[in-house]
Amino acid sequence: MPITDFLERNARLYPNDKALTEITPQNQPATNVTWREYNLIETAEGEQYRREITWREFDTDANRFANLLFTRGIKKGDKVAILLMNCLEWLPIYFGILKTGAIVVPMNYRYAGEEILYCADLADCSMMIFGPEFTERIESVLPKMTAITDFFFVGKREKTPLFADNYKDMIYHCSSVVPPVEINDEDEAAIYFSSGTTGFPKAILHSHRALTHSCLVEQNHHGQTKDDVFLCIPPLYHTGAKMHWFGSLLTASRAVLLKGVSPEWILQAVSEEKCTIVWLLVPWAQDILDALSSGKLNINDYRLNDWRLMHIGAQPVPPSLIKRWKRVFPNHQYDTNYGLSESIGPGCVHLGVENIHKVGAIGKAGFGWQTRILDEHHEDVDPGEVGELAVKGPGVMLGYYKNPEATREMLLGDWLLTGDMAREDEDGFIYLVDRKKDVIITGGENLYPVQIEDFLRQNDKIKDVAVIGLPDKRLGEIAAAIVEVKPDCTLSEEELNEFCKGLPRYKRPRKIIFAEVPRNATGKIEKPRLREIYCGVRLVEAETTR
Indicate the SS3 state at residue 129.
Answer: strand
CA 488: distance to chain centroid? 30
Task: Lowest mean pLDDT of 198-202, 226-230, 514-518, name the range.
Answer: 198-202
- CATH placement of domain 439-515: 3.30.300.30
Q: How confident is the model at residue 449 (pLDDT cuts 50, 70, 90)?
A: confident
Give 148-207 pLDDT, tens digit per residue: 999 999 999 999 999 999 999 999 989 999 999 999 999 999 999 986 533 568 999 999
Give 73-103 pLDDT, tens digit per residue: 999 999 999 999 999 999 999 999 999 999 9
Alpha carbons 201 and 355: distance in angstroms, whole number: 35
Q: How confident is the model at residue 234 (pLDDT cuts 50, 70, 90)?
A: confident
Give 490-499 pLDDT, tens digit per residue: 999 999 999 9
Domain locations in the chain? 4-16+51-223, 439-515
Alpha carbons 467 and 453: distance in angstroms, whole number: 6
Q: How confident is the model at residue 453 (pLDDT cuts 50, 70, 90)?
A: confident
User: Residue 454's pLDDT is what?
Assistant: 83
User: Residue 444's pLDDT is what?
Assistant: 58
Has residue 219 got a pLDDT over 90? yes
User: Residue 30's pLDDT is what?
Assistant: 40
What are the Cα distances from residue 403, in Å, to 3, 108, 287, 410?
26, 20, 40, 11
What are the Cα distances from residue 519, in Å, to 210, 469, 533?
28, 18, 14
Phi, psi of 223 (to 5 degrees): 60, 35
Give 371-387 pLDDT, tens digit per residue: 999 998 999 999 899 89
Architecture of domain 4-16+51-223: 3-Layer(aba) Sandwich (3.40)
Mean pLDDT over 406-426 rounds to: 92
Mean pLDDT over 274-296 rounds to: 91
Average pLDDT along the chain: 88
Q: How confident is the model at residue 39 (pLDDT cuts 50, 70, 90)?
A: very low
Contact yes or no for 188/398 (Cβ under 8 A): yes
Has residue 518 got a pLDDT over 90? no
Has residue 258 got a pLDDT over 70? yes
Considering just the CA atoms, what is the radius of gyration of the chain in Å?
23
CA 334: distance to chain centroid? 18
Phi, psi of 475 (to 5 degrees): -100, -5
User: Residue 129's pLDDT is what?
Assistant: 98
Contact yes or no for 90/129 (Cβ under 8 A): no
User: Residue 474's pLDDT is what?
Assistant: 64
User: Residue 194's pLDDT is what?
Assistant: 82
Q: How confident is the model at residue 239 (pLDDT cuts 50, 70, 90)?
A: confident
* pTM of this prediction exceeds 0.85: no
User: Residue 47's pLDDT is what?
Assistant: 52
Mean pLDDT over 347-367 rounds to: 92
Mean pLDDT over 361-379 rounds to: 94
Alpha carbons 134 and 32: distance in angstroms, whole number: 25
Percent of the chain exceeding pLDDT 90 equals 63
